[in-house]
Amino acid sequence: MKILLAYSLSGFASYLHRLLSGFIPDAFWLMVTEMVITGVCLLVFLILLAFFLGYMERKVAAFMEIRFGPNRVGPKGTLQIVADTVKLLFKEGLTPDLSDKFLFNLAPGIIVISAMLAVAPIAFAKGFQIWDINIGVLYISSVSSIAVIGILMAGWSSSNKYSIIGAMRAGAQIVSYELSVGLSLISIVVLSGSLSLNDIVESQANGWWILKGHIPVLISFVIFVVASTAEINRAPFDLVEADQELTGGFNTEYGGMKFAMFLMSEYINLFVVSAVAATLFLGGWMPFHIGNFTAFNHIMDYIPSSIWFFGKTLFIIFIIMQFRWTFPRLRIDQLLNLEWKYLLPISMINVLLVTLMAIMGWHF
Amino acid sequence: MKLLGEDIVTETGEFIINMGPQHPSTHGVLHLKIWLDGETIKKIEPHLGYIHRSIEKMSEKMSYRQFIYLTSRMDYLSAHMNNQACALVVEKALQVEVPERAKAIRILLAELSRIGSHLLWFASVGLDLGGVTPFFYAFREREAINSLMEENCGARLTQNFHVPGGILEDVNPDFQKRVKEVIKQLKDNFHEYDEILTGNVIFQNRLKGVGYLSKEDAISLGCSGPTARASGVVCDIRKSNPYDGYEKLEFDEVVLTGGDSWARYQVRMAEMLQSIKIIEQMIDNMPEGDIVAKTKNVIKLPKGEFYQRVETARGELGVYIVSEGAATPYRCKYRSPNFANLSAIPIAAKGGKIGDLIAIMATVDLIIPDIDR
């Protein structure tokens, strides 16, 4: 039972640390080596994750649309997404003649890097976190907003009128929705009293915030899911791409691996926002605990913490995917009205309510 | 800002984009030149001619038995009704009485293809506004209709089932049973359309108050079909100039006064139900007898001018034939509904956003090959 509870990679990590310090005596280079190993592992994990989410999205879409989805390549079509990636890899990496070539090629990199950086402070399981930074929430929200620069860059440098319209939409949309995302993050920070993701998870040991925090936290959870769907440009808020209006928007001119990088960053972003929602509102890796029910809490502890984390994250991803396949797209003015007239005022008042609740200790 | 060596913003600060001829939402090779101020549309100029196949000129070289089938390629979703118009104009000129059974089969297939056309329109409205799922729901029923067409006419899209004086062949013995199956499937599944699209708040907000077309504009631009009926124009040819026995049937002409995209959406949804009503009236009492009236092998129309109009899924199709008494038309002119309806788009979309233009194009429901012919 002890092993089960301490289900983590910390033992393996310290073993690796001891092993490497035998070869590399210098502390600085030891750290660099470890960072490179972690980075490579993370990269592989994220690529596999993007594959999995791509497959999941196709299957979810197919089942909603009364069809089968991929079912030819590999068992149950699982290798379809690999085949597609191989196809994209072998395509010519075309750069349009009249584009700003440096910015055009830099943009996919910026978007992918900003998506990947945001994964660092996420706690995947108990004691399994790449970077336990004490301002984790602030870090994630600031790093993920770099992506808008990449989108603007891609749209501007493409020399395509549709791309420019898409990029201008991106500027208006992402910057607006970051406000609501930030305010709903703040409500949990106020309740738990810490910006560190680890502390926030620990603060939910006697119950998840969504259950402890009454209706205000429920409201901020809903606002967070809606606003972050808009922030990562997924339907029904995919005005930046808007195939039917802008023929692909900011990524119209991209093809091959550069386009695959946009696609990958979309799925990583989807994972990050779902993971953050799961961590802040649904307790992250924390099992389902009810106050002082020790027996019940012990039974719940038997389920490994990583399963709790990924289960919650995938549940939120599933909800966001369902949005995409049921809702039509909003118009740009409706999108901005939704943010500035509804979500922002509601979340402002909501933060006040949550703060009052935290001061008076009304939550459980 | 410069693009391709040219300033892309005009002196008055307008941004010009060319939507089409390759664009996912123009449903074909329509080319709209758009003057934008930010996202707001200042002016639209349609450019035509990308799919001109000179169908009218080709008709002058074809006999009266052959020229019917060229019209299948105009509005390909109303192929059956286009053929009907041509067959009717020849029958009118020859003063041939079409057998009752042929008339009944014509109307049944025409109403089925009207439903099929409106289903495809429903699918593409959802798709154009960014909701992919309704597409598959509508295509499930459209597939049933297409299979029925294939069983009886041999073709799924361009049925080519008309000959002057009647229809080409009798329908299958199980035709009535199959039609009832298709109608039952459609009626059972119709509520799903309302659930996935009609009732959606985002969808309603995208259409309500968007692309207003006044009754006066609709009349003066010559709009017809559901587009005009949504603006309050009473223009159903099946009611005003009945042909092939529509006068004996009971159905309502759906007329709304909204004039916006939402009204156009509702008119088409209601028309599908009216078409079901027509089919249900006819299917159980199909007359027996001949399917084609006797005509000469080489048809020669008497000297004169002949005009016949029918109500296709998109509006009024008129066929005008000038005959010199020969075996081919001297002049053949089609008054196509989409050409007139296209002229409503620049007026309806003015002042709207780019997203509104997509909604307007989707609800006006243009078929581009019918515009150019």
Residue A5: per-residue pLDDT: 43
Predicted pLDDT at B200:
87
CATH code of the domain covering residue B140: 1.10.645.10
Whether the ω angle into residue B21 lies within 30 degrees of 0, i.e. cis, is yes
Lowest mean pLDDT among A120-134, B28-42, B136-150, B153-167: A120-134
Q: Which of A160, A240, A245 to mutate to test the interface with B (most CBs of B within 10 A)?
A: A245
Helix (H, G, I), strand (E, B) or coil at A9: coil
The number of folded domains in chain B is 1
pLDDT of A349: 92
Q: Show the domain range for B294.
A: 5-372
- Quote the mean pLDDT of chain B: 87
| Cα separation, B108 vs B175, whole angstroms | 11
At B169 the pLDDT is 85
Q: Residue B285: how many CB atoms within 10 A of its CB?
A: 7
d(CA B82, CA B370): 10
| Residue B3 binned pLDDT confidence (cut-offs 50, 70, 90) | low
From residue A42, alpha-carbon distances to A46, A59, A208, B356 in Å are 6, 25, 28, 43
Q: How far apart are CA B281 and CA B35, in angstroms?
A: 50
Q: What is the pLDDT of residue A1?
A: 34
Q: Nearest to residue A316, comparing CAs of A136, A48, A53, A47?
A: A53
User: What pLDDT is recorded for position B2?
Assistant: 59
Q: Which residues of A touch B200 (CB under 8 A)?
A: 326-328
Dist CA A230 CA A341 (whole Å): 15
Question: 10 Å Cβ neighbour count for B188?
Answer: 10
Q: Do A66 and B205 touch (CB under 8 A)?
A: no
Q: Which of A65, A159, A238 sits opposite B133 (nearest CB)?
A: A65
Q: What pLDDT, on the 0 to 100 scale, is given for residue B115?
A: 92
- Tell me phi and psi for residue B254, to 5 degrees: -80, 115
**pLDDT beneath 50, residues of chain A:** 1-6
Give residue-wise pLDDT tens across range A99-127: 888 888 898 999 988 888 888 888 887 77
d(C-alpha B199, C-alpha B147), whole Å: 30
What is d(CA B287, CA B305) in angstroms, rounded to the nearest whole number? 33
Mutation target vs B (from A63, A160, A252, A326; most B CBs, 10 A cutoff): A326
Closest CA to A181 of A133, A132, A134, A147: A147
Segments of chain B assigned E as strands: 2-3, 6-7, 15-19, 31-37, 40-47, 162-163, 166-167, 304-312, 315-323, 331-335
- Tell me how far CA of residue A168 lies from CA of A39, A98, B195, B303, in angstroms: 33, 20, 34, 63
Quick one: average pLDDT of B284-313? 86
Provide the 10 A C-beta neighbour count for residue B268: 26
pLDDT score, position A346: 92
Q: Per residue in B332-345, pLDDT tens?
A: 899 889 888 888 88
pLDDT, tens digit (0-9, with 9 covering 90-100), for A56-92: 988 988 988 888 888 888 888 888 888 888 888 888 8
Q: Which residue pairs from A356-360 have beta carbons closer than 8 angstroms and sit at least 24 positions apart in sequence?
A: A357/A191, A357/A213, A357/A214, A357/A216, A358/A190, A358/A191, A358/A193
Find how far residue A278's CA is from the centre of its chain: 10
When pLDDT is averaged across residues B128-150 and rounded to a whole number, the result is 89
CA A50/CA A59 separation, integer angstroms: 14
Q: Å from B355 to nearest chain A CA?
A: 6
ipTM exceeding 0.90, yes/no: no
pLDDT (mean) for B126-135:
86
